[in-house]
A and B are shown apart, each in its own frame.
Chain A
Amino acid sequence: MAAVIEVQGLVKSFGRTRALDGLDLEVAPGEVHGFLGPNGSGKSTTIRVLLGLLRADAGRTRLLGGDPWRDAVALHRRLAHVPGDVVLWPNLTGGEVIDLLGRLRGGADRRRVDELLERFDLDPRKKARTYSKGNRQKVALVAALASDAELLVLDEPTSGLDPIMEATFQSCVREVRAEGRTVLLSSHVLAEAEALCDRVSLIRRGRTVQTGSLAELRRLTRTSVTAETDRPVPGLADVPGVHGVRRTGGRVSFDVDSTHLDDALRPLVDAGLRSLTSAPPTLEELFLRQYGDELAAAGDLERLP
Chain B
Amino acid sequence: MTPRRDVAGTGVLLRFAVRRDRVRLPVWVLAGSALMWAQSTSNQSFYRTPAALAAYRASAGSNAASIAFSGPPVGLGTVAGTVAFEISGVLAVLAALMATSTVVRHTRADEEAGRTELLRAGRLGRHAPLLAATGVSAAACALLGAGIAAAAALSGLPGHGAVVLGAATASAGLVWTGATAVCAQLAGGARSVYGLVGGLLGVAFVVRALGDVTGDGASWASPLGWAQATHPWSDDRWWPLLLPLAAAALSLAGARALLDRRDLGAGFLQPRPGPATASRALGSPLGLAWRLQRGALLAWAVGVALLGLVYGGLAESVRTLLADNPDAQVFFRGSSTAELVDSYLGVTVRIAALLVTAYAVSATCRARTEEAAGRAEPLLAAAVGRARWLGSHLVVALGGATALLVLDGLATGASRAVATGRAGEVGRLTGAALGYVPAVWVAAGFAAALVGAVPAAAVPAAWTAFGGLLVVTLFADGFGWPAWVGDLSPLLRTPTVPAQAWSAAPLLALAAVAAGFLAVAFAAVRRRDVAAG
Contacts and interface: CB of A to CB of B under 8 A. Distances in A.
Interface stretch (A24-32, A76-84, A264-272): A76-84
Interface in A88-129: 88-93, 95-101, 103-106, 123-127, 129
A53 interface: yes
B277 A127 contact: no
B8 to A, nearest CB: 28
A85 B274 CA distance: 24
Contacts of B287: 100
A72 interface: yes
Residue of A53, A81, A88, A101 contacting most chain B CB atoms (<10 Å): A53
B286 to A, nearest CB: 11
A87 interface: yes
A130 interface: yes
B424 interface: no
A287 B527 CA distance: 37
A55 interface: yes
A91 B188 CA distance: 12
A51 B381 CA distance: 6
B383 A105 contact: yes
A54 interface: yes
A270 to B, nearest CB: 61
A53 B529 contact: yes
B278 interface: yes
A129 B383 contact: no
A245 interface: no
Contact of A125 (B112, B274, B380): B274
Contacts of A95: 274-278
Given A83-B377, A95-B276, A103-B278, A54 B383 contact: no
Residue of B189, B274, B373, B528 contacting most chain A CB atoms (<10 Å): B274
Given A53-B380, A83-B378, A104 B276 contact: no
Given A54-B530, A73-B383, A76-B383, A129 B189 contact: yes
Contact of A85 (B282, B283, B374, B383): B374
B385 interface: yes
B383 A96 contact: no
B288 interface: yes
Contacts of A100: 278, 282-283, 287-288
Interface in B239-286: 271, 273-279, 282-285
Contacts of B288: 89, 100
A85 B528 CA distance: 21
Residue of B279, B378, B379, B381 contacting most chain A CB atoms (<10 Å): B381
B283 A103 contact: yes
A140 B383 CA distance: 15
Contacts of B380: 51-53, 72
A26 B309 CA distance: 66
Contacts, number: 110
Residue of A93, A106, A140 contacting most chain B CB atoms (<10 Å): A93
B20 interface: no
Contacts of A81: 378, 381-382
Contact of B373 (A87, A97, A104, A126): A87
B381 A96 contact: no
Given A51-B381, A104-B285, A93 B189 contact: no
Interface string B366-380: 000000011101111
Interface string B322-365: 00000000000000000000000000000000000000000000
B485 interface: no
B511 to A, nearest CB: 29
B291 interface: yes
A81 B529 CA distance: 18
Given A73-B384, A127-B271, A129-B189, A99 B277 contact: yes
A97 to B, nearest CB: 8
A53 B377 contact: yes
A72 B382 contact: no
B383 A93 contact: no
B419 interface: no
Given A85-B374, A99-B278, A104-B284, A126 B383 contact: no
Contacts of B282: 92, 96, 99-100, 103
Interface in A210-250: none
Interface of A: 48, 51-55, 72-74, 76-77, 81, 83, 85, 87-93, 95-101, 103-106, 123-127, 129-130, 140
29 contacts: A48-B530, A53-B530, A55-B527, A55-B528, A73-B383, A76-B382, A76-B384, A87-B373, A87-B374, A87-B375, A89-B288, A89-B292, A89-B375, A92-B282, A93-B274, A95-B276, A95-B277, A96-B282, A98-B278, A99-B277, A99-B282, A101-B378, A103-B283, A103-B284, A104-B284, A124-B276, A126-B274, A129-B112, A130-B189
Given A73-B384, A104-B285, 19 more contacts: A54-B530, A81-B378, A83-B374, A87-B373, A88-B375, A88-B378, A92-B274, A93-B275, A95-B275, A96-B279, A97-B278, A103-B283, A104-B283, A104-B382, A104-B384, A105-B382, A123-B273, A124-B276, A127-B271
Q: Which 3 A-B pairs have the closest CB atoms?
A: A99-B278, A125-B273, A93-B274
